[in-house]
Amino acid sequence: MKNTLIIGATPNPTRYAYKAANMLKAKGHSIINVGIKSGTVAGVEIEGAEEIHTDIHTITLYIGPGLQQQYYDYILKTNPKRVIFNPGTENYELKALLRKNAIEPMEACTLVMLATGQY
């Protein structure tokens, strides 16, 4: 199972980040929710990007490129194996930065990956 950090977590059940958090938990993955909204998703509190988690396999992004820059240092310090750019989050600057730091960037959909066993 892959420890997964969700950037853009939200308690809004109509959002894909919410659906991904629940599906990740249902498939047995541990999650950390990071976002600006307060609340709980899939039984896990949403936290700010203050605490660095060093045991993360995957970060999955649910915020657009315009908001990502403020998370660059946080992502690099977390040092995941990969970062999934869900549809609408593609960012070539961040991808280049990840590659430079030996972190795999992936353009994919976390929900599809989970549903098809590719996660």
Per the structure, the count of domains in the chain is 1
pLDDT band at 4 (very low <50, low <70, confident <90, very high): very high
Segment 56-72, tens digit of pLDDT: 999 999 999 999 999 99
Place of tokens 């969700």: 6
Question: In this predicted model, what pLDDT tens digit does every residue of 83-118 receive, in sequence order?
Answer: 999 999 999 999 999 999 999 999 999 999 999 999
| CATH code of residue 85 | 3.40.50.720
Average pLDDT, the chain: 97
**Residue 105 belongs to domain spanning:** 4-115
pLDDT grade, residue 47 (50/70/90)?
very high
Distances (CA, A) of 103 to 26, 27, 39, 83: 26, 24, 30, 7
